[in-house]
Amino acid sequence: MAESITITDNRTGESLEIPIDNGGVAASEWSKLMPGVWFYDPAFMSTAACESSITFLDGEAGILRYRGYPIEELAENSTYLEVAYLLLHGELPKPDEYEKWRNEVTMHTFIHENVRKRFLEGFHYDAHPMGMLVSAVAALSTFYLDAKEIFDPDSRAKQIIRLIAKMPTLAAAAHRFSVGMPFVYPDNSLDFAANFLSMMWKVAEPRFEPDPILAKALDTLFILHADHEQNCSTTAMRVVGSSHADPYSACAAACAALYGPRHGGANEQVIRMLTEIASIENVPAFIEGVKAGNGRLQGFGHRVYKSYDPRAAIIKRTADEVFTVTGKNPLLDIALKLEEIALSDEYFTSRKLYPNVDFYSGLIYQAMGFPLEMFPVLFAIPRTAGWLAHWQELLDQDSKIARPRQLYIGPEARTYTPLAER
């Protein structure tokens, strides 16, 4: 017999049986029995807002899979572009499909000269690169008017390729501008991550040759950040996408959501925290301060992971490889001590607070020379694949516009008092 629940409206005595499908009960069924009574669920703590076949996450068991493939296997064997294809198409590409996909993305890495010269260079000299990225992604919608044809398969595919291809170019351009360096055009003979490093760091050499260990590490970090089901930015993408806005506008909204310190800004906060702690001796006192309510242990805790974030475990190994090239990040020892103490402290274990993806990623980025302001930008580059996969899925589901209800707690109706009489 199928699983179900039965609810009873105690005001009327009426009952209704609702089936449990895929671990959820349909709120529309509930509303049949109790129209006008809403689920009160701020921050969507208990609400599944959609059905999705992209990413599976079991936060209790620490499992993350893209389209069924364990994140560990993808990080070990795959490339970011292959994973982006998987997220968007549902299957890993065959060799010819991969070659076509890689070629198409590579051929779309250039941005319109006006985006750089007139738009990006119009920012104030100390503009935050993430603020520049959010705006530049939105501005792309004004360059590609065909993007409004969201139900045209050719147009949709073209915008997806453009967005994935141009994100690293915009990201590097934002960085170069913020440090007063000239823009570096994409080098289409390099692969995705290596080309990004070239656009970031190239100075006067004819051709930038990134260290293969660093390029590989960055590609692995891109894989780990490519999707994470219904997180804050993906939800923003889906909500804006549900109004049938073009994908650049929806992606800009997702980028904006990622900007916040509770989401994509967390690894920047981790480095600030480690820098403030300054030495291993100060770790116990810092932990006591967190327990007493003086701020949070950045890079710890997660809305859905109630065990070790599987991405954090992979990142820890990647960090070791990166440090063989860059030298150890001096903040690493503080981070390891923090983790050790927190994982044996009742405050953290009872609340199931473990390191998340951001605890170690910032250490890698910093060792590779990225300024702190670039950290959320580095997150946005690969997450674009996930955002677009969800956007596409949403449109294919013929979904309604996102429009939650509220429980009104304001004043009752009252009469307007003219200004002079108040």
Do 32 and 14 meet the contact criterion of CB atoms below 8 Å apart?
no
Do 81 and 138 meet the contact criterion of CB atoms below 8 Å apart?
no
Q: Which residue is catalytic, options 187, 263, 333, 345?
A: 263
What is the Cα–Cα distance from 108 to 158, expressed in whole angstroms?
A: 9
Terminal alpha carbon distance of the chain: 65
User: Is 302 part of the annotated catalytic residue set?
Assistant: yes
Give me the least distance between CB of 262 and ligand CMC, in Å please: 5
Best CA proximity match to 228, nearest among 52, 28, 402: 52
User: Is 333 part of the annotated catalytic residue set?
Assistant: no
What is the Cα–Cα distance from 282 to 407, expressed in whole angstroms?
A: 46
Complex with ligand CMC: residue 120 or 270, whichever CB lies closer: 270
- CB burial of 158-195 (b: ≥16 within 10 Å; e: otherwise) equals bbbbbbbbbbbbbbbbbbbbbeeeebbebbeebbbbbb
Confirm or reject binding of residue 358 to ligand CMC (CB under 6 A).
yes
By CB under 6 A, which span of 167-175, 278-286, 299-307, 329-337 interacts with ligand CMC? Answer: 299-307
Give me the least distance between CB of 50 and ligand CMC, in Å please: 18
User: Is 358 part of the annotated catalytic residue set?
Assistant: yes
Q: Which residue is catalytic, options 358, 390, 396, 398?
A: 358
Confirm or reject binding of residue 299 to ligand CMC (CB under 6 A).
yes
Question: Among residues 109, 220, 235, 298, which is the contact residue for ligand CMC, using CB under 6 A?
Answer: 298
Write the binding mask 321 to 350 for ligand CMC: x where contact by CB under 6 A, - elsewhere: ------------------------------
CA 100 to chain centre: 26
Q: Residue 376 is encoded by which pair of tokens?
A: 């959320």
Complex with ligand CMC: residue 177 or 354, whichever CB lies closer: 354
Instruction: Read off the amino acid at residue 19.
Output: P
Give me the least distance between CB of 236 and ligand CMC, in Å please: 12
What is the Cα–Cα distance from 37 to 46, expressed in whole angstroms?
A: 16
Confirm or reject binding of residue 231 to ligand CMC (CB under 6 A).
yes
Q: Which residue is catalytic, options 175, 302, 309, 390?
A: 302
What is the Cα–Cα distance from 334 to 340, expressed in whole angstroms?
A: 10
Count of residues that interact with ligand CMC, criterion CB under 6 A: 20
Confirm or reject binding of residue 272 to ligand CMC (CB under 6 A).
no
Catalytic site positions: 263, 302, 358
Provide the binding-site residues for ligand CMC, judged by CB under 6 A.
228, 231, 262-264, 266, 290, 296-303, 351, 353, 356-358
